[in-house]
Amino acid sequence: MGDNWSFVLAAYGLAVVVVLGYWRMLVRREKDLDQ
Amino acid sequence: MWKDLLVERRSKETLNALFFFALLLLFVFEFALGPDRERLAGALPGLLWLGFILSGLLGLGRAFVVERENDCWEALLLAPGDKSAIYVGKLAGNLLLMLVVEAMLLALFGVFFNLDIVPALPALGVVILLGTIGFAAIGTLFAAMTTQVRARELLFPVLLLPVQVPLLLATVKATEAVLLGEPLGAVAHWLKLLAAADVLYVAVGVLTFDFVLEG
Amino acid sequence: MVRVLGAVTVVALAAGLVAGLGLAPREATQGNVQRIMYLHVPSVWVAYLAFAVVFVASIAYLAKRAEAADQLAHASAEVGVLFTGLTIATGSIWGKPTWGTWWTWDARLTSVSILFVMYLGYLLLRGMIEDRERGARYAAVLGIVAAFNIPLVHFSVTWWRTLHQPPSLMKPGPGTMPPVIVATLLVNFVAFSLLYAYFVAKRVRLLRREAEATS
């Protein structure tokens, strides 16, 4: 089987986006409460 | 419990509408699949249960609407004693309603799709009964939960359908085998799963219904 | 406290990333795609952990009526759905080069995606009930039903699939895994568990503050 690095990077990239996205949502909503 | 059955028999409106709906479903299935007998026969177990579930969704969705419209909901909440009796009564009513609709659908399927279901009927009856108990048990519980929620027509199927996937898989597979003339022993593992699901669902329903009817 | 947890989580995740993408060797049979396993398997572990926490917290809420238990269930369900989604997505990306297709109705993919829609429905129910106390009660009932349904889903889907094909395994058998791969997997398990704890802690705090702000 080939190297398929593009699939590996896509999976890791997606994971990073999802995790960071959720974290930012939490932070933003907490900031909204502070104001 | 008997009150429910009585109300249902007296009004008959739900049953009539469901009968009409079942008839329409047959039309839709026929149009969607075309006149090809072979293809129809292959898809039949799935279609049959799709029909049961769709009419069940409509029938069960209305289970507590009558109470709400007649302002009996408060009376249900205030009812003294064990609320699980109310659940069992509602469950029995829904089960009966669904079984009647399913019998009608089955007869219609037999007539319109030229099926000889009579030899498979006893085995099919076991499968249908086991599947319907589980469906009605969770359906009754969820119907009570969604009655007081906005967009309940939407929420009820959205909550119910994913939970019903094991029942659907088991019943469709068992129905498929039974319609092919296999004995019940060949699908014993599915029947055990159905029985386990029924016991589990009814038990959870009885135990948690108190909390649903609190307010 | 949460901040410290967050910092530890970031360190662990970075270690997991380095180990998964760099230190771990290219797997012999699957090639580099196997590296996706370091995300996929810990994700599904976190998802199951999260739903188990929902189950326990739901029972605790119904028994004690503590708002904290409800908030824990809510937060855990949300994080669980997030990681279930991640499991499905990474599994799909792994499947494309391995099976040649983004999606097959493989037993594991199917049962995880049923969990996904089941708990998505749970979150939907929570979002649709304005009354906080009633929402908590109904969600707790649903959380209990859904948890009991997990083994049923698992068995039914496995039987449904394995009659046609053996379940395809994401991971090679435990005996065949070289120690480096096991170690990398372990690091990622720890990192993802920490991430789960961090997210839930943050989400619970947010829910508590939102509850205080509105009451």
Task: Indicate the pLDDT class of residue C140, thresholds 50, 70 and 90.
Answer: very high
Q: Are C25 and C189 in contact (CB under 8 A)?
A: no
The answer to pTM > 0.90 is: no
Mean pLDDT to the nearest integer, C132-160 = 91
Instruction: With both helix axes pointing from N to C terminus, report the angle between C132-162 and B188-212 in degrees, rounded to the nearest 10.
Output: 180
Percent of chain A with pLDDT over 90: 57
**Pairwise CB contact (< 8 Å): C145 & B189:** no
C2 touches chain B (CB under 8 A): no
pLDDT of residue B133: 95
What is the least distance, in Å, from the CA of A12 to any CA of chain C? 7
Kindly give the residue spans of alpha helices, DSSP state H, lying in chain C. 2-18, 37-64, 67-99, 107-128, 132-162, 179-214
Q: Which among C30, C82, C97 has the least Cβ separation from residue A22?
A: C82
Q: ipTM score here?
A: 0.90
Percent of chain C with pLDDT over 90: 55
CA distance B63 to A24: 43
B1 or A11: which leads in pLDDT = A11
CA distance B141 to C149: 14
Residues of A (3-32) whose Cβ lies below 8 Å from C: 3-5, 7-8, 10-12, 14-15, 18-19, 22-23, 26, 29-30
Stretch among B121-130, B146-155, C25-34, C44-53 having the lowest mean pLDDT: C25-34
Which residue of chain C has the CA closest to B197?
C152
pLDDT of residue A2: 54
Task: Indicate the pLDDT class of residue C45, thresholds 50, 70 and 90.
Answer: very high
C124 touches chain B (CB under 8 A): yes
pLDDT of residue B33: 80
Neighbours of B193 (CB within 10 A): 25
Query: Quick one: CA torsion of B137, B142, B145, B149, rounded to 10 degrees?
Result: -150
Q: Are B144 and B77 in contact (CB under 8 A)?
A: no
Which chains does A contact via 3+ CB–CB distances below 8 A? C
Mean pLDDT to the nearest integer, A16-23 = 95
Mean pLDDT to the nearest integer, C137-165 = 86
Whole-Å CA distances, B37 to B26, B33, B42, B112, B115? 14, 9, 9, 11, 10
| pLDDT of C134 higher than 70 | yes
Give per-residue pLDDT as tens, C54-105.
999 999 999 999 999 999 999 999 999 999 999 999 999 988 888 888 888 8
Binned average pLDDT, 10 residues per bin, chain B of 215 residues = 58 78 86 77 86 89 73 70 82 90 88 78 90 94 87 88 93 89 84 94 92 80
SS3 content of chain B, % helix, strand, coil (to 5): 85, 0, 15
A18 or C27: which leads in pLDDT = A18
**Pairwise CB contact (< 8 Å): C93 & A15:** no
Q: Which among C90, C97, C203 has the least Cβ separation from residue A4?
A: C97
C53 or C19: which leads in pLDDT = C53
| pLDDT of C170 higher than 70 | no
Mean pLDDT to the nearest integer, C106-129 = 91
Stretch among A16-20, C4-8, C35-39, C175-179 having the lowest mean pLDDT: C175-179
Stretch among C47-51, C124-128, C163-167 having the lowest mean pLDDT: C163-167
B72 or C148: which leads in pLDDT = C148
CA distance C34 to C128: 41
B38 or C189: which leads in pLDDT = C189
In three-state secondary structure terms, C27 is strand
Residues of B (152-171) whose Cβ lies below 8 Å from C: 155, 158-159, 161-163, 165-166, 169-170
Mean pLDDT to the nearest integer, C131-140 = 92
**Distance of alpha carbon C171 from its chain centroid, rounded?**
17
Tokens 């009991």 found at? C148
C172 touches chain A (CB under 8 A): no
Whole-Å CA distances, C198 to C14, C48, C134, C185? 15, 16, 28, 20
C176 or C207: which leads in pLDDT = C207
**Pairwise CB contact (< 8 Å): C138 & B212:** yes
| pLDDT of C173 higher than 70 | no
B180 touches chain C (CB under 8 A): no
Task: Indicate the pLDDT class of residue C176, thresholds 50, 70 and 90.
Answer: low
**Pairwise CB contact (< 8 Å): B193 & C144:** no
Mean pLDDT to the nearest integer, C22-27 = 80
